[in-house]
Amino acid sequence: MNAVAVIIWPLRPDYDGTYRGIWSGKSYQLSRKLVHGARDDKPCYSTDAENSSIIKQVNFTPGLPEGTTPRTWDWPKLLQEFQRVTRPDGVIRVTKGDAVTSDSPALNRITQLFVQAFYQSGHLFTPEGNGVINQLTRLLEQHEVQQVRTRVYALEYRPDTPEGQAFMEDARHFVRTILPFLRKWTQVPDDYEELCQQALNEMQQPDFVAMLNQLTAWGLKG
The domain ranges of the chain are 5-220
Report the distance separating Cα 214 and Cα 153, nearest Å.
5
Q: Do 7 and 57 meet the contact criterion of CB atoms below 8 Å apart?
A: yes
pLDDT of the residue at 221: 87
**What's the pTM value of the predicted model, to 2 decimals?**
0.72
Mean pLDDT, each 10-residue run in order, the chain (222 residues):
45 41 38 33 30 38 54 88 82 87 96 94 91 91 93 91 91 91 95 96 95 91 82
- Burial of residue 177, with CB atoms counted within 10 A of its CB: 0-12 exposed, 13-18 middle, 19 or more buried: exposed
pLDDT of the residue at 130: 86
Helices (H), the chain: 75-85, 105-120, 136-142, 162-177, 179-185, 192-203
pLDDT of the residue at 83: 86
Report the distance separating Cα 89 and Cα 76, nearest Å.
21
pLDDT of the residue at 68: 58
Q: Which of 125, 92, 69, 108 is nearest to 11 (CA)?
A: 92
pLDDT of the residue at 80: 86
Q: Do 139 and 75 meet the contact criterion of CB atoms below 8 Å apart?
A: yes
pLDDT of the residue at 105: 97
Coil, strand or helix: which one is 112?
Answer: helix
Q: Do 24 and 63 meet the contact criterion of CB atoms below 8 Å apart?
A: yes
pLDDT of the residue at 147: 94
Q: Which of 32, 4, 35, 6 is nearest to 18 (CA)?
A: 32
